[in-house]
Structures are given as structure tokens and as C-alpha cells.
């Protein structure tokens, strides 16, 4: 009887349902699907012998693949180009997305809905690759790494996300600030931005990943080897056999996997610091007053 009372006294939220068990199993499987390939690349990058089957641990542990990547001077310039374009592209994207989203929540702005629908129209229909190439050529951005900054600096999807987030800020805050005599720009810098850390972190991470991983833009618009980014150079190294000469006894497979880890390492280091903001930013615009 005592056990029955104890079971009945449990709250519904404390009981583990079949749905919860299925959820756990599904998310564990999804986690394994994501982590197992990454772990294989990590193991292969540390394995002196070029083994293609899956191993939980390197059979012959070595850092020679990473030493080769670090000592290859041909990778320095593309890596620096990637850092510059990622930082500037992310900064430009955040500025345009936040300002654009803030303008679209100003209810007194004439034509506000028209501009919002006009921007969203461009998410569905675009001018095409050839017109885009001609525009970039007229702007003098062909064969220049700055095309990565300009091309990713304006993203309508991220602008809409920021607009939705700003709409979730209580209107009473804006009204109180206007009564106190604050201008729209002062409201933006003193109220809106401090409340938007989660959204800015999420959008900033989206921008930086997009710019850093952009291979196709470099492939289409850039032929100057001094203007290419790290991803393009890494692709040539892996797919075209453009491997650097090295004094270390390292297999080609080890070198390839070390290059892949080197390409994703900056975001593997950065993400833990932004995780708490990124998790909050997933619900951008979900709650409105």
C-alpha cells in the first residue's frame, strides 16, 4: 500500500513516459550519426598509417599531419584570407541585419509591410547566376576576396529573424523610452541591442559559418591564388592531390583528415563560449507580447 501511494503521489512531470524513452533513443541515434564521422576524421588525422576502415583509436599515434599543415606556407595566405573575410562579413551582416530588422518594426514607418514583403520575395526568386556575376564584375569584386564579405553581408533570412526578435521585445519599453525623449537610434543602442545578445550570437554564428565554409563563391568568382580562402585551398589539396611536400612520414589520408580538422577547429573552439546564447537564440521571435 505504501508503494502504491508513493507511485500515485508522483507528479506527471516526474514520470518517464514511452514518448520520453523514444525521444531519448532517437536523439542518441542522431548524436551518434553526427559524432561518429567526426570521430573517425579525428582518429584518422592522428593515425600514422593510412587506414580507411573505422577505428576507435589510432593504431600508430602521431601529430605529423598537423605539423605538416602548420609548416605548409602555401596555406598561410588562404587561412588569413578566411579569417579576414569571416570577421568582416560577420560584422557587416550583423550591422545590416540588426538595422534592417529594427527599421521594419517601426510602426510609424510608411510602407513598412511593403518593404518586408519585397525583401522576403527575394528569398524565393533571384536574378540568377549570370546576372549576379555581371553585377559583381561591374562592382569590381571579381577576383577579389572582398566578394565574400559583400555577398554574405546581406542575408534576408537573418534580417527576418532579427525583425521577429525585435517584435518580441515588449512595446511598453519602446513607449516608455519615447516618453523620456529617446530618439529611435538611442532606443536601438541603449535598449534593443543589450536585450539582443542571444539573437546577435546566433545570427553572428550563422554568418561566420556561412562565410568561412563558402567554397562555391571562390570557385566561381576568384582565379587569383592569392585571393582564395582556406576551404578552396583545402579542397584542391584533397581532391586534386595538391598535397604539400613534407619531411615527415605521414600518409596522404592522415594529411587530408588533419586538414579537415584544421578547417573546422576554429568553430569547435568558439561554439562552447556561444552555446548559452545560441540555445536562447533558437527561440528567436517565438514569444511576443
What residue segments make up the domains of the chain, in order of their start?
Answer: 18-61, 73-281
What 3-state class would DSSP assign to 47?
A: strand
Rounded CA separation 100/163 (Å)? 8
Q: What is the pLDDT of residue 1?
A: 47
Q: Is the pTM of this model over 0.85?
A: no
Average pLDDT for 95-103? 90
Average pLDDT of the chain to the nearest whole number: 82
Is residue 49's pLDDT more than 60? yes
Label residue 242 by pLDDT band (50, 70, 90).
low
Is residue 249's pLDDT more than 90? no
Rounded CA separation 255/48 (Å)? 9
By C-alpha distance, which of 251, 262, 266 is closest to 64?
A: 251
The domain 73-281 having CATH identifier 1.10.3720.10: the answer here is yes
Q: What is the pLDDT of residue 279?
A: 62
Over residues 216-235, the pLDDT tens digits come to 899 999 988 888 998 888 88
Rounded CA separation 263/241 (Å)? 17
By C-alpha distance, which of 133, 271, 153 is closest to 205?
A: 271
- Is the separation of the CB atoms in 198 and 119 below 8 Å? no
- Is the separation of the CB atoms in 155 and 115 below 8 Å? no
Higher pLDDT, 12 or 45: 45
Question: 33-47, 109-123, 239-253, 261-275: lowest mean pLDDT where?
Answer: 239-253
Rounded CA separation 46/250 (Å)? 10
Is residue 156's pLDDT more than 90? no
- Please state, in angstroms and as integers, the Cα–Cα distance from residue 21 to each residue in 11, 24, 27, following that order: 18, 5, 10
What values do phi and psi take at 51, rounded to 5? Answer: -105, 130
Higher pLDDT, 127 or 193: 193
Count CB-CB contacts under 10 A for residue 142.
16
Rounded CA separation 242/270 (Å)? 29
DSSP secondary structure code for residue 284 in this structure: T
Q: What is the pLDDT of residue 114?
A: 84
What 3-state class would DSSP assign to 203?
A: helix
Query: What percent of the chain has pLDDT above 70?
Result: 85
- Please state, in angstroms and as integers, the Cα–Cα distance from residue 184 to each residue in 83, 95, 105, 144, 149, following that order: 34, 16, 11, 37, 28
By C-alpha distance, which of 46, 168, 45 is closest to 105?
A: 168
Question: 6-20, 21-35, 164-178, 243-257: lowest mean pLDDT where?
Answer: 6-20
Amino acid at each position: 500500500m505504501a508503494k502504491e501511494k508513493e507511485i500515485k503521489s508522483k507528479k506527471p512531470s516526474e514520470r518517464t513516459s514511452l514518448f520520453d524513452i523514444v525521444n531519448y533513443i532517437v536523439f542518441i541515434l542522431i548524436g551518434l550519426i553526427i559524432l561518429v564521422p567526426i570521430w573517425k576524421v579525428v582518429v584518422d588525422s592522428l593515425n600514422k598509417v593510412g587506414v580507411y576502415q573505422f577505428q576507435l583509436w589510432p593504431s600508430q599515434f602521431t601529430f605529423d599531419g598537423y605539423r605538416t599543415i602548420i609548416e605548409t606556407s602555401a596555406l598561410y595566405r588562404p587561412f588569413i584570407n578566411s579569417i579576414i573575410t569571416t570577421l568582416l562579413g560577420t560584422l557587416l551582416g550583423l550591422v545590416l541585419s540588426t538595422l534592417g530588422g529594427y527599421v521594419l518594426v517601426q510602426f510609424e514607418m510608411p510602407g513598412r509591410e511593403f518593404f518586408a514583403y519585397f525583401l522576403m520575395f527575394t528569398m524565393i526568386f533571384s536574378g540568377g547566376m549570370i546576372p549576379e556575376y555581371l553585377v559583381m564584375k561591374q562592382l569590381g569584386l571579381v577576383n577579389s576576396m572582398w566578394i565574400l564579405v559583400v555577398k554574405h553581408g546581406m542575408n534576408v533570412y537573418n534580417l527576418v529573424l532579427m525583425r521577429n526578435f525585435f517584435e518580441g521585445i515588449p512595446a511598453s519599453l519602446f513607449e516608455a523610452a519615447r516618453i523620456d525623449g529617446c530618439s529611435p537610434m538611442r532606443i536601438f543602442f541603449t535598449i534593443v541591442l543589450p536585450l539582443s545578445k542571444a539573437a546577435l550570437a546566433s545570427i553572428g554564428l550563422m554568418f561566420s559559418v556561412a562565410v568561412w565554409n563558402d567554397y562555391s563563391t571562390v570557385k566561381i568568382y576568384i582565379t587569383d591564388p592569392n585571393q582564395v580562402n582556406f576551404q578552396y585551398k583545402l579542397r584542391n589539396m584533397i581532391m586534386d592531390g595538391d598535397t604539400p611536400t613534407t619531411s615527415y612520414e605521414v600518409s596522404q589520408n592522415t594529411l587530408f583528415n588533419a586538414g579537415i580538422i584544421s578547417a573546422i577547429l576554429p568553430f569547435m573552439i568558439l561554439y562552447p563560449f556561444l552555446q548559452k546564447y545560441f540555445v536562447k537564440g533558437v527561440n528567436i521571435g517565438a514569444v511576443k507580447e
